[in-house]
Amino acid sequence: MATQHSRSAARVMMAPAVFLLLVWMLVPLILTLWFSTLDYRPMRGTFDCCEGLGNYTRFVTSSAFLSSVVTTLQLVGGVLLITVIGGILLANLLDQPIWGQGVVRILVIAPFFVMPTVSALVWKNMFMNPVNGLFAHLFKALGLQPIDWLSQAPLFSIILIVSWQWLPFATLILLTAIQSLDSEQMEAAEMDGAGPISRFYHMTLPHLARSITVVVLIQTIFLLSIFAEIYVTTGGAFGTRTLTYLVYQRVIESQNVGLGSAGGIIAVILANIVALVLMRVVGKNLDA
């Protein structure tokens, strides 16, 4: 049992972390909340009080808001679909007895460590460029007309780039989960005549359910704030403006801080809804 002495020592040891996180969270958030009620445009020198909820109404009713929410959902949904399904299949493949499994694993994980600006620029220039990109060469070799990926299919291109970055994450986590599956149970099922598909469906998938939930939620948190990939590829043009990017443009590019801050608060609220669900799942693990 912990003594009174160690309890107070524990409190002292926790204090710096708790204090810093509290300041880090509250100060900027309160400032943002305050700014969101102002007509605050530094370039024009306006700093007028008492917009009330005007900025919120203006932000939500602008056509840019709705389309940015749709774009965000498409981006997050598309990447989740590709990475989760791809991750399940790939993790199952890597769990099979194969030669050089360690090396293949290293190859598959690699994209996760590439910094976002590098992967976005490499894909943009060396693969998706309509003249010199590898995809253009490939299309020409097949007798097809090369397409300008980032202006003809901009959102799809960004989904592709982001999925490439996150597929390793999903694969790695699902592989870790699969490897903890009881192999004796699997053998028993095999002996009882369960085919590979029914074993996958009735045993592997239920076992993976919790890990899949974790992958979906964590990726959602990160994907909601995707920034660099859009910044260096399209700069938010051609319908690739997500909610995060819209807020960035309002606040930094057009310097309408009041309006942007209202958007920021809305982004915080939306992200918190996802976060609450994630914390329930992670929290359950604390009791286990």
Contacts with another protein in 160-199 (CB under 8 A)?
A: 164, 167-169, 172-173, 176-177, 183-184, 186-187, 190
Pick between residue 70 and residue 122 the one whose CB is nearest to another protein: 122
User: b/e map of 43-61 (b: 16 or more CB within 10 Å)?
Assistant: eeeeeeeebeebbbebbee
Pick between residue 66 and residue 107 the one whose CB is nearest to another protein: 107
Among 111, 148, 194, 203, binds another protein (CB under 8 A): 111
Q: Supply φ then ψ for residue 96, to 5 degrees.
A: -70, 155
Among 85, 107, 144, 237, binds another protein (CB under 8 A): 107
Strand partners, 41: 46
Strand partners, 46: 41
Q: Does 127 bind another protein (CB under 8 A)?
A: yes
- Distance of closest approach, residue 33 Cβ to another protein, in angstroms: 10
Among 39, 116, 130, 199, binds another protein (CB under 8 A): 116
Site residues (CB under 8 A) for another protein, limited to 246-285? 247-248, 251-252, 257, 260-261, 264-265, 267-268, 271-272, 274-275, 278-279, 281-283, 285
The closest alpha carbon to 149, from 164, 133, 137, belongs to 133
C-beta of residue 226 within 8 angstroms of C-beta of residue 161? no
- Distance of closest approach, residue 103 Cβ to another protein, in angstroms: 8
Q: How far is CA 214 from CA 14, 90, 169, 194, 283, in A?
A: 27, 17, 11, 28, 11
Pick between residue 78 and residue 260 the one whose CB is nearest to another protein: 260
What whole-number distance in Å separates Cα of residue 61 and Cα of residue 56? 8
Site residues (CB under 8 A) for another protein, limited to 11-70? 11, 13-14, 16-18, 20-21, 24-25, 27-29, 31-32, 35
CA angle 231, 234, 238 (to 5 degrees): 135
